[in-house]
Amino acid sequence: MPEHHTAPLLEVAGLHKHFPIRGGLLTRRTGAVRAVDGVDFSIEAGRSLGLVGESGCGKSTTGRLVARLLEPTGGAVRYRGEDIAHASRRELAPVRAEIQMIFQDPYSSLNPRQTVGTIVGAPLAIRRTGTASARRARVRELLATVGLNPEHYNRFPHEFSGGQRQRIGIARALALEPKLIVADEPVSALDVSIQAQIVNLLQQVQRDLGIAFLFIAHDLAIVRHFSHRVAVMYLGRIVELADRAELYGDPRHPYTKALLSAVPEPDLGTGDGEAQGRNRIRLSGDVPTPVDPPSGCRFRTRCPSAQAICGTTEPPLLPVPTATGQHLVACHFAEPLPAAA
């Protein structure tokens, strides 16, 4: 991979997406849902970045902005160094082949009236890649890659189980040999026993084909398993971004800590349900509305250690000293305090 030392494959800087709320006498703008409100990250070729957060934090919107299914309100989306944030349809055409998406719901994201062959071959057909028979051969190859029987080329989506449908969606995303895949909750609609199959498949695809991933999910354990680096989002901003081992082993942001301690794991088994309770950090209340986020640090309304400064100044996402790798945190108290350490 010669590109490794050059610029990252994807670089997102100051990304904003505000959805206007209209109302009033002449449908004027009365406000905006600040779904993504200043997000920076980058993904290197062949690497994966996990994006975690609770519903409404803006992680899915971020994914759609990166795939340019949405146009950003502000900021830059640089793909191979070129800003595609406001690129026209024509300019986007070559980029679209290289950035593909995998969606959450394998039931609604496949056209029920098309055969699997048509669905998977659609990206090839649209681009008139090769002859019809070459395309058919390629589709069969893709079906085999994702673990489906190539003979099922002429079947319809309803003849497949949820896990198999997700494989179809993956095959479609792979058709144009993308360099980056945005996977938006790719396993959360699947049964527990199937999720691992799909995670393994995505991992295999990532390694074998060297595809970079933006892996969006709410399940912290799955994100950890899949992603080299992980970003935690809260109310439209990234609050912490670090290498996987750093983020899960030494979380610095109080929100990340709370998220991690809230994950119920099946391994304790003391039976009385008490053991895990002791070390848990409990957040009170719900996530505030992105229409009118709190002043200063957005997490302060639920933060167990909020101080006066948190209400006045928004903490920037800054590096903190760590043993390994890069670790960015947006918290006024992210530096380990001498007394507490």
Nearest to 48 by CA among 206, 187, 242: 206
Interaction of residue 270 with another protein, rule CB under 8 A = yes
Q: Are 253 and 240 in contact (CB under 8 A)?
A: yes
The one among 100, 104, 166, 195 contacting another protein by CB under 8 A: 195
User: CA neighbours within 13 Å on the CB side: how many for 154?
Assistant: 1
Interaction of residue 25 with another protein, rule CB under 8 A = yes
CA distances from 106 to 41, 279, 292 (A): 28, 37, 34
Nearest to 330 by CA among 306, 341, 314, 309: 314
Tokens of 215: 């892996």
Q: Letter for the amino acid at 259?
A: L
Query: Which of residues 23 and 74 has its CB atom nearest to another protein in the complex?
Result: 23
Please give the size of the binding site for another protein, defined by CB under 8 A.
52
DSSP E strand boundaries for the chain: 10-23, 28-43, 48-52, 74-79, 82-83, 99-102, 180-184, 212-216, 229-234, 237-243, 318-319, 327-329
The one among 42, 114, 118, 197 contacting another protein by CB under 8 A: 197
The one among 161, 295, 307, 313 contacting another protein by CB under 8 A: 161
Query: Which of residues 97 and 262 has its CB atom nearest to another protein in the complex?
Result: 262
Shortest CB 69 distance to another protein, Å = 24
Interaction of residue 277 with another protein, rule CB under 8 A = yes
Q: Residues in the chain, how many?
A: 341
The Cα 51–Cα 183 span in angstroms is 10
Tell me the longest C-alpha to C-alpha distance in the chain. Answer: 70
Query: Which of residues 124 and 214 has its CB atom nearest to another protein in the complex?
Result: 214
Q: CA torsion 9→128→204→247, rounded to 10°?
A: 30
Query: Which of residues 55 and 131 has its CB atom nearest to another protein in the complex?
Result: 55
The one among 75, 117, 163, 294 contacting another protein by CB under 8 A: 163
Query: Which of residues 25 and 341 has its CB atom nearest to another protein in the complex?
Result: 25
Query: Which of residues 141 and 159 has its CB atom nearest to another protein in the complex?
Result: 159
Q: Strand order in 48-52's β-sheet?
A: 99-102, 180-184, 212-216, 48-52, 229-234, 237-243, 327-329, 318-319
The Cα 75–Cα 72 span in angstroms is 7
Interaction of residue 273 with another protein, rule CB under 8 A = yes
Query: Which of residues 120 and 189 has its CB atom nearest to another protein in the complex?
Result: 189
Stretch that binds another protein, among 81-89, 124-132, 255-263, 313-321 (CB under 8 A): 255-263
Interaction of residue 115 with another protein, rule CB under 8 A = no
Query: Which of residues 103 and 234 has its CB atom nearest to another protein in the complex?
Result: 234
Q: CA torsion 189→65→245→239, rounded to 10°?
A: -110
Interaction of residue 148 with another protein, rule CB under 8 A = no
Interaction of residue 21 with another protein, rule CB under 8 A = no
The one among 94, 266, 321, 338 contacting another protein by CB under 8 A: 266
The one among 35, 232, 259, 331 contacting another protein by CB under 8 A: 259
Interaction of residue 209 with another protein, rule CB under 8 A = no
**DSSP designation for 336:** P
The Cα 280–Cα 274 span in angstroms is 11
Interaction of residue 222 with another protein, rule CB under 8 A = yes
The one among 2, 28, 55, 154 contacting another protein by CB under 8 A: 55
Q: Which stretches of the chain bind another protein, using CB under 8 A?
A: 23-25, 54-55, 161-164, 191-197, 199-200, 203, 218, 220-222, 224-225, 244, 248, 258-260, 262-274, 276-277, 280, 282-287
